[in-house]
Structure 1
Amino acid sequence: MNLKKEQIIKSKLGLLLKLLLITLAIFKIAEFIIGNKKESRLNSKRRNEQKVTLDSTKIKEGDDDGVPYVDSLSGKEKAKDNPIPNTASVYIFDDNGLDVRISRLVGDLFFKEYALKGIPKGFSKEELLLGNLETSANTELICVGKISYSYFSNSRGGTSCAVSLYFDAYNKTTGERMKSYSKSMDRTGVAVGDNKEGAKHNALKRIGF
C-alpha cells in the first residue's frame, strides 16, 4: 500500500470516528432532556399532592372564591379513588356556612394523628350533616359537625357566651361512624361588661382552642 492510499484510509477512519462521537453526544443530550422532562412532571405531580393547609378565613358554604380545596375534581369524581391513608378533612358549620377557622382548630386538637387536607369544591352542607360523604374530600377520616353561640347577661353584670359544639367522625371507605372520635360538648365563657367577643373567646378556650 502506497503512502497516499494509507493517508486516505486514515482520513476516512478519522471522519467516521468523529461522526460516531457526534452521534453519541446527540444521543446523550436527547436522553438528558427527556430525563429532565420526566423529572419535572414527577415533581409537579408531587407538588400538587402536597398537603393543602386550611385557611383562617370563614367562608360561606357554596362560595367557590378563595375556598381552599384538594384539587379541581368534584367530590363525586374523587369518591371513585381510594381514600388517602392517615389523612382527615374537617367540616364544622355555623349559621353562616363553613367556619374554616373552627374546622382547622378541631382538626388540630382532636385529630393530631392525621394529616389535615383542605376542602374540595362542591361540598354539600346538607348531605355531609346527614352522613352522606359523597361530596367530601378523599381522606381516610371525615369529620362533620356544627357550632353555635348564644349570649346573655350574667348576674355580675357581665356577658356570658354559651358555645355548643358537636361533630361526628366517619371512615370514608366504609361510611361507618367512628364513635371514639365523635364528640358533643357545651362550654360557657364569661367577660366583663358588654363584651361578646371576649365571652366567646373564653368559651372557646374552655374547649381547648
Structure 2
Amino acid sequence: MAQPARKIVGSTSMEPELSERSREILGLISAGIDSLEPSVIQNMVANLVRLGEVVDEFNRPEMLDLFREVAQTSSNLRSLIAELRELQETGTMTALLEFGRMIQAIKDSLTAGVVTGILQQAVNAVSMLDQMQTLQGDRLVTGMIAAMQEAVRENKDKSPQGVLSLLRQLNNPEARKGLGIFASFLQKLPAQLGFTN
C-alpha cells in the first residue's frame, strides 16, 4: 500500500505549515467534497464553467462600454428622481395625473357625432375668420373699438346730456351717417339670424 506523499518526503515539504484552525477548515471542506455524489460535483463544475463564461461575456468591450454608459447616466437618473420627488411634494404630480385622467375621460366620452360636431364648429370658425379677413372685418372691429374708446374719453368727465342736446347732435352729418349705418345693420340682422317671418 502506497503511503501519502507527505510521509515519504517528510517535513521538508514546500507546503507552509497550517494553523490548527486552517487544518480543521480544510478537513471539513475535504469531508464535504468526499461526501458529494458524482452528479452533484458534475453540476457544480458545470455551474462554475457557466460562471466563467458569464464573466468572460461581461469582459467584452461592448459590455464594458455599456457599464460605463450606465454609470454616467446614473447621475441623470438621480436628478430625474429628485425632480419627480419635488413634483410629488409640491402636489404638481397629483394635478398632472388628475389632468391626464380628465383628458382620458373626455377622450373616452367622445363619440363619432361629438367629434364631427366639434370639427364642424372648427371649420365654421375658420370660415368666419376667413370671411372677416376678406371683408376687412378686422378693420371694422378695430375701428369700432377705437371709436368706443374715443367716445368714452370724450364723455368721461361730462355730466349726462339732455334729450334736446342729444337730438341736436343728430344734426351733425357724421352722426347721421353713423346712425344710418347702424339702422341698416339693425334691419339686416334678423334675416341673417333667421328671425324673418
TM-score normalized with structure 1 length:
0.16
Question: Radius of gyration: which is bigger?
Answer: 2
Higher helix share: 2
TM-score relative to the length of structure 2: 0.17
